[in-house]
Structure 1
Amino acid sequence: MIIALGLSPVVIAAGVAWAAATDNMFPTSHTGSTCFTGMGNGYPCQTDDKAVYFYMDSSGEYELESVDRSTVNNAIDGEYRSTDLAFHYDSSPVFEGSGETDIIYQDGSTGLSDSAAGMTWCNAAGGDGRDCDQQYIRIRGNGYYTYARVCHETGHAVGLQHGDNASPQLDKHNDTRLGCMLTPSDGHPDLGANNRENINATY
């Protein structure tokens, strides 16, 4: 749009496109290219579809307390609903075969190192090598289930990486453009523009 001010026109840009600061969606040039299964194996993989079905463990050893369930819902509503991903709660989860529930949230510390507050891993790899049919998120209880940490681990479950695995690499501890993918996982509450851009470009 051009506005005439005296003799000199002023050009005003209408709608400047934003570009991601880095590519931190699996796979990048700083990760492997194959999605591996098992706790602690490989890098966080992409989910297998833009429709993401999730379940919060509701009984047994890994049951989420009511406050933790609220935190998961709040983080998904606050950070991921505005992306091209479509999150749906699956009250009848599927754990094997076709149509597995995409993300299973658990409360517990089994298998976590002493320094880890939470972890995301692929339980069943998809067919193209870069995606996962079902991913688990396990976060310690007793106050570790925070909004920022749920944002971080959910980011891993859709393929977002830490800054040192991004391309170009960013300081995973301090570069706020990484949003809630900063390390440690409770470092920043917001998904942020960079992560939204990568999610939307992928899904």
Structure 2
Amino acid sequence: MQSHRRRAGIAVALSGITVIAAAAVTWAAATDNLVPTNNYTVGCLTGMSGGTVCRTDNADVTYYMDSGGNDKLEDIDKANVRVAIQEFHDKTDLKVSYDSSPSWTGGSETDIYYAEATVPGSDEGLTWCNDNSPGAFKCDQQYVRIEGGGHYSPGLSCHETGHAVGLLHGAEASPTLPNQDSRLGCMKKTPGFADGLGTNNRENINANY
């Protein structure tokens, strides 16, 4: 599954002399934690109860933050999302842009929708696919819900955005890592307030998009 991420050495014949040119390794992540992995092959299911991690369906990612009604994000919450989003835009091959007029149906749906609302159970954030795409692991539109009361931190915003592009926790990665391994960056099971994307997540995104 991961063979497309590495290039083997190339043998080149020059004047009867065989020269082995070692190609650069373009994928040097500590672990593969972007769906699917050898330890996570669950297809993308829709709905909050689906319980699956899906990858966005293309590298051009649009997002919208709820700005009205009960689920709106306060200004500080929006600022924290922008901090997280900026890393995905600046440090990966994803092209992330804000969609001020979101689309909820059709072939060009807004990719990620952020809302502030209660999350079931003990978690503070939750991401789920609202409309899956052709291809077992892809989603056309994903919802991110994070609880209010200051939970919309840069680290948690990064974590849930990571799930929206297909990043997993350490236990589902290949090889597995402890869920709080520092190499997972903001994809630690419980991210720190200011945890960023980190090298491992960046390498996985760039190898897949």
TM-score range, shorter chain: 0.7 to 0.9
Tell me, in whole angstroms, the C-alpha distance in 1 between the residues paired with 2:103 and 2:86.
Answer: 23
Q: Is residue 2:66 matched to residue 1:57?
A: yes
Tell me if the contact between 1:32 and 1:43 (Cα under 8 Å) persists in the aligned partners. no
| Secondary structure in 1 matching 2:93 | coil
Q: Please give the residue correspondences for 1:48-87 in structure 2 after superposition, counting only pairs within 5 Å.
A: 48-87=57-96
Count of paired positions: 186
Q: Which residue of 1 aligns with 2:151?
A: 144
Of 76, 98, 111, the match for 2:107: 98
TM-score by length of 2: 0.84
Which aligned segments of 4 or more residues in structure 1 are displaced greater than 3 angstroms? 15-18, 185-188
- Cα offset, 1:16, TM superposition: 7.9
Unmatched 5+ residue regions in structure 1? 1-14
The CA distance in 1 between the partners of 2:191 and 2:146, in whole Å, is 11
* 1:77 CA drift (Å): 1.2
Q: Identify the residue that residue 7 of structure 2 maps to in structure 1.
A: none
Residues 21-75 of structure 1: per-residue CA shift (max 9 Å, x gap)? 1110011122234111111313211101100000001111210111111111111
> Aligned residue for 1:167?
174
SS in 1 for 2:190: coil
Report whether the alignment pairs 1:179 with 2:185: yes
Q: 1:199 aligns with which of 177, 201, 205?
A: 205
CA distance 1:89–1:177, shift in 2 (3 Å): same
CA–CA distance in structure 2, aligned partners of residues 54 and 22 of structure 1? 27
- Distance in 1, Cα, partners of 2:178 & 2:89: 23
State the AA in 2 paired with 1:86: K
The TM-score, its normalising length taken from structure 1, stands at 0.87
- Asked whether the 8 Å contact 1:22–1:166 carries over to 2, the reply is yes
Percent identity between matched residues is: 50
Amino acid at match of 1:142: G
Q: Which runs of 5+ in 2 are unaligned?
A: 1-23
Aligned-pair distance for 1:80?
A: 3.9
- The question of 1:189 aligning with 2:188 is answered no
Aligned counterparts of 2:140 and 2:26: Cα–Cα separation in 1: 33
Assess, with a 3 A threshold, how the Cα gap between structure 1 residues 22 and 101 changes in structure 2: closer, same or farther. Answer: same
Contact 1:179/1:188 (CA < 8 Å) preserved in 2? no
- Name the CA distance, whole Å, in 2 between partners of 1:95 and 1:106: 14
Alignment of 1:103-114 (within 5 A): 103-109=112-118, 112-114=119-121
Answer yes or no: is the 8 Å Cα contact 1:180–1:187 preserved in 2.
no
Question: Alpha-carbon deviations, 1:121-143, whole Å to 9, x = none?
Answer: 00000111111000000000110
Q: Give 1:79 shift.
A: 4.6
Encode CA deviations 1:124-168: one digit per residue, 9 max, x unaligned.
Answer: 001111110000000001100000000100000000000000010
Query: 3-state SS of the aligned residue for 1:60?
Result: coil
State whether residues 74 and 147 of structure 1, in contact with CA within 8 Å, keep that contact through their aligned partners in structure 2. Answer: yes
RMSD: 1.6
The whole-number CA distance in structure 2 between the counterparts of 1:107 and 1:150 is 11
Matched, 1:126 2:133: yes
